[in-house]
Amino acid sequence: MPSIGPNNIANHPSYLYLIIGILVFIFLSFGAGFQESETYDEPSHIAAGFLYWKTGQYKLQQQAPFNELWMTWPLLTTPLEYPSSPPPWAVARNMRFPEYLMNHDGLTPGAILAICRFMNVVLGAFLAFLIWRWSAEAVGTRAAIAALTAYVFNPNILAYSHLATADMGAAVFTFLSIYLFWRLWRHPQVRRAIMAGIGLGLNVAGKLSGLLIVPLLGIMIWMEHRAKSKPLRSRSVIPLIVSYVMAALAALVLCYGVVNFPSFFIALRQIGDRMTQHVPHYFHGHIREGSWVWFSTAVMLLKTPLPFMLMCGLPLLAEPTDGRNRFGYIWLLIPSLGFLAVLSLSPIQFGVRRLLVLYPFLAMWIGLGVDRVWSLSARWRALCCLMAGWYIASAIAVFPRYLSYFNEMAGGPSQGHRFLVDCNLDWGQGMKALQKYLKTRGTTGIYLSYFGSADPHSYGIRYVAVAPKVVGSDFGDPGLNLNEQPRKLFVISATNRAGLYYVDHHVFDWLLPRRPLTVLMDSLWVYDMTNDLDGLQHLNSLIAQKNSPRLASYLSDQAASR
């Protein structure tokens, strides 16, 4: 099917598929977000963006600001305020600013999250449009529809597109910057150079890893020249390069602000320092300080839907004669393989959220493959439809548990804990599910070992904290007497259960032979300790070892504040 010129796209019948696809995407992504509590990194990103809008300074973290500014600007229209000093109730609970902001009297945590998350969903919908448009321009309508489907129903995209973090923004602006550069390559014009430069500037201003596309673009240009597809004369290149670089710098300075632009170089230095650190990584029961070279590849194999991976092989099955094979290899595979290689060599590989940048390019690659095999025979068309049906059904079936999605090869979401934890499975998203579970059973107090940033009290949960791994301080309810509870429940996050961030990684190994009552959102394991004397001894020992010195100091500070 022929490609569509950019001036005819809006009038083409496939435009209806785009509208339907975007509406489905918004429904699935934002709908899943309503079922999740705040995740580990969200409060710090929200607070950093809001603080910059209010003070014009980067006080919380020296990172690229654009994504945070984008998701938080609607908060300026709310009663949320930045206080010159924290209120007494926040001081009494040793709250940092992100914690205080999320528990502000003027706005509920749910409202803050909904506003900021929706802004990221808008970015995700914009990326759907870009994928459709680029596919339609470069290949044709059929490829655009297939690529849009591959993107809209990707569980990992649906998982992170509604979270108020910078990961989705990085995927959007990386794709935008390469797409705009491709348009510049096809038709070298100063105005296109300026647009491509702005795309690069926004990409770097959103996440400093955006600088990685500069060498990738160099590789792609070299490959295009080698294929003798677009020779350029030096006189015509210089104005384009100058326009491109100046526009990128202008966008970058505009996002940072002239006064705060030195923060860009500070952040670069901090990233360099961070690359020398070793963060513990977990895979299949093994914990290592620093990562394995194959870790990101293994994460992708376990968390990418099988039909998506199988359809990535379609472009290799039939070679077109009109140059689209070169387009796919250079503009789609080179960015995908390049980013995967860089991530694999990094000592810090958080997992699938760093891989989001690959999926838009691979979605287009799938669209290219579908377009190639569709005209071969009815059997190929039937195979494509079968794969698409499998792919869509798997995305709908797992709703709203996209964050904990694992494919059939891993055993599905319920078996994901055997392979990965942290942001690949358990990022603190289960507080709403726990609130509902406890309410239906009339339970008013539990033992809780939580990995996340949400305040359980915001969900009406009273608890005794057991070796928590949370953002800020967490002492639970010191006066809570669980002996009054008819059933003594112990709820633990999968990340804590795996022992990932403890000095003693085996601290919760005593739970392994015990069978949980249930697992909520694939991340919170609920155990009944009512008649488990050995289990209660372990809990009391952990409470005494981990909490008592800090708890005594906390109670003393509270008494002094009165």
Residue 248 has pLDDT above 60, yes or no: yes
The CA angle 420-422-427, to the nearest 5 degrees, is 130
310: nearest Cα among 409, 414, 452, 211: 409
Residue 108 has pLDDT above 70, yes or no: yes
Sequence spans of domains, the chain: 9-397, 427-561
Residue 456 has pLDDT above 50, yes or no: yes
- Please give the backbone phi and psi of residue 82, each rounded to the nearest 5 degrees, phi first: -100, 115
The pLDDT of residue 458: 85
Average pLDDT over residues 329-356: 91
SS (H, E, C) 97-144: HHHHHHCCCCCCHHHHHHHHHHHHHHHHHHHHHHHHHHHHHHCCHHHH
Is the separation of the CB atoms in 399 and 411 below 8 Å? no
The pLDDT of residue 230: 56
The rounded distance, in Å, linking the Cα atoms of 270 and 329 is 34
CA distances from 484 to 196, 443, 456, 478, 491 (A): 65, 10, 20, 15, 17
> What's the whole-number average pLDDT of the chain?
85
Average pLDDT over residues 271-283: 78
Residue 176 structure tokens: 């935008």
pLDDT tens digit sequence for 222-244:
888 777 655 556 567 888 999 99
Average pLDDT over residues 38-49: 88
The pLDDT of residue 549: 46
Kindly report which listed range (18-32, 67-81, 462-476) carries the lowest average pLDDT score. Answer: 462-476
- Please give the backbone phi and psi of residue 116, each rounded to the nearest 5 degrees, phi first: -70, -35
Kindly report which listed range (243-257, 473-487, 541-555) carries the lowest average pLDDT score. Answer: 541-555
**Would you tell me how many other CB atoms lie within 10 Å of the CB of residue 244?**
25
Question: Rounded to the nearest 10 degrees, how much is the dihedral formed by the CA atoms of 230, 234, 240, 243?
Answer: 160
The pLDDT of residue 543: 85
Average pLDDT over residues 14-42: 92
Residue 495 structure tokens: 């990340």
**Between residues 303 and 5, the one the model is more confident about:** 303
**Would you tell me how many other CB atoms lie within 10 Å of the CB of residue 363?**
30
**Between residues 15 and 72, the one the model is more confident about:** 72
The pLDDT of residue 100: 65
- Using CB atoms within 10 Å of the CB of residue 255, give its burial: 0 to 12 exposed, 13 to 18 middle, 19+ buried: buried
pLDDT tier at 561, thresholds 50, 70, 90: very low
Residue 552 has pLDDT above 50, yes or no: no
- What share of the chain has pLDDT > 90, as a percent? 56
Q: Cite the DSSP H helix spans in 448-513.
A: 494-497
pLDDT tens digit sequence for 61-93:
556 788 999 999 999 998 887 766 655 544 444
